[in-house]
Amino acid sequence: MPENVKKERSMILQKEMIGNLFKELGNVKQTGKKVVYTFVPGNLSELIRSFDMLPVYPEINALQSGMRKKSDAYIREAEKWGHSEDVCTYVKCDIGMMLKGNIGPTGEKVPDPDLLLLSYTGCFTFLKWFENLEKLYPGVPVALIHTPYQENGEITAEMTEYMVKQLKNDVIPKMEQVSGQKFDPEKLKTILQHSADIEDLIVKIFDTTKNVPSPIDAYFAGVYYIGPINIGFRGTPEATEYYKELYSEILERVRLGLGPVTPEGEMEEERYRLVVEGPPNWTSFREFWKLFYDMGAVIVASSYTRVGGVYKNGFRHDPDRLLESLSEYCMGCYTNMNLPQRVEMLAKEIKDYKADGFLVNSIKSCNSFSAGQLLIMRTLEDRMGIPVGFIESDLVDPRYFSYSNIKNRLESFFQMLEQRKLINV
């Protein structure tokens, strides 16, 4: 988080949690704990935790590498290995990092996996990513779940039953084999109750942007807020404590009428309220954010902060429906929703959070997000009568972040918003 801003207790708690996780990962040879490589969308972190195993998320390692300016070298290493420029840069960064020793964000080596778990296949890239992980770690057991796509905009009982069968017949037996523990439904039930509590809190946190001024930025700061639930802490008492503390701090900002905290301190004036579609750029994250807060633009809702769960739509992990709940979570990912569902969700947020404009950040190498974004943008423009903007960057490849091009497009977009405000005065 911002370096020259006083750290709130929630920031300290998050730093401690993540630091302890990487310390645990660094000590697995001594403790004997098993390690599961998996992905954020549709993750089964509660099930992993119920077997006392530790999760590793390759795309989290990739974005951390991007923020630490290390992704360029990793990507080039993967391209030497044969990956083309068009391959998802998360994949190339992750594989390049593994080829160069798999040193994690804390400077310690990330341990090799004991299990490869792919619980969401809505992104075809994940399948190819897993094929490469299998080559890098031959002999490691693989558990793969086929997740049905929400083609008709709903999760049916048949779809859930299909998922539960895979959990019972493939995933849980492999977890029992790798961990040496039997599946414990009561332990998972306790973990899922924590998950539901956390999901209640995260919805309340992001709902505070209905206030004017918004006390938080739901995109640039939002990626920090979703960090613990996306790095394997959803379902833990530590994460429950973190989100309670964060919510309390944000409510205090609402009480005081304060706007978001930026890397340069308090935002003095909220001029524009935006809803943003698509992931951020990680290699120039600070510079990217500054383009917005210098103009007084606050993101009051974003699709990217739903990448690990669309809790605002009402989903909660249910301790009384263990495997069914895990299955429905996997199928409820934002990128597993069809385009009409995404449009409806974004339209509701534009209305509920009184947004002045809608902006797409299209990621060159991420088809899961980028496919259909122009359709989403034009549909929302026609339906909501709202100014829309479109910029392009990439996740972790600095070659595809053009500061001047993005700045020019954003300035034009903000001029549109300003003219609209003058007309409506």
Domain that holds residue 97: 9-179
Per-residue pLDDT at 424: 75
pLDDT at 2 over 60: no
Average confidence (pLDDT) over 196-223: 97
pLDDT single digits (tens) 232-279: 999 999 999 999 999 999 999 999 999 999 999 999 899 999 999 999
Going by the DSSP 8-state scheme, the letter that residue 148 receives in this structure is: P
- In percent, how much of the chain has pLDDT > 70? 98
When pLDDT is cut at 50, 70 and 90, the band that residue 7 belongs to is low
Q: Which residue has the tokens 């993101």?
A: 299
Is residue 24 included in any domain, yes or no? yes
When pLDDT is cut at 50, 70 and 90, the band that residue 153 belongs to is very high
pLDDT single digits (tens) 125-145: 888 888 889 999 999 999 999
Tokens found for residue 339 = 């385009």
Is residue 99 included in any domain, yes or no? yes
Is residue 260 within 8 A of residue 216, CB to CB? The reply is: yes
When pLDDT is cut at 50, 70 and 90, the band that residue 5 belongs to is very low
Average confidence (pLDDT) over 361-379: 91
Per-residue pLDDT at 425: 63
Is residue 68 included in any domain, yes or no? yes
Using DSSP, state whether 170 is helix, strand or coil: helix
Buried b (16+ CB within 10 A) or exposed e, 174-186: bbeebbeeebeee
**CATH classification of the domain holding 68:** 3.40.50.11890
Is residue 325 included in any domain, yes or no? no
- Give the 3-state secondary structure percentages of the chain, helix then strand then coil, rounded to 5: 55, 10, 35
* CA of residue 300 relative to chain centroid, distance: 16
**Short-list 281, 297, 278, 284, CA closest to 372:** 278
| Identity at 259, one-letter amino acid code | G
Using DSSP, state whether 264 is helix, strand or coil: coil
Per-residue pLDDT at 181: 98
Per-residue pLDDT at 121: 66
Pairing state between β 272-277 and 357-363: parallel
Per-residue pLDDT at 85: 81
C-alpha R_g of the chain? 21
Pairing state between β 265-266 and 261-262: antiparallel
Tokens found for residue 181 = 């523990």
pLDDT at 339 over 90: yes
Using DSSP, state whether 108 is helix, strand or coil: coil
* CA of residue 39 relative to chain centroid, distance: 10
Per-residue pLDDT at 142: 95
Per-residue pLDDT at 281: 95
Is residue 370 included in any domain, yes or no? no
Is residue 116 included in any domain, yes or no? yes
Per-residue pLDDT at 6: 56
One-character DSSP codes across 303-350: SGGGTT--GGGT----TTSHHHHHHHHHHT-GGGB-HHHHHHHHHHHH
pLDDT at 391 over 60: yes
Average confidence (pLDDT) over 77-82: 92
Residues 6 or more apart whose Cβ sits within 8 Å of residue 169: none
**Short-list 86, 83, 20, CA closest to 54:** 20
Using DSSP, state whether 238 is helix, strand or coil: helix
More confident residue, 281 or 104: 281
pTM (2 decimals)? 0.94
Number of structural domains (the chain) is 1
Average confidence (pLDDT) over 326-350: 95
Is residue 236 included in any domain, yes or no? no
Is residue 113 included in any domain, yes or no? yes
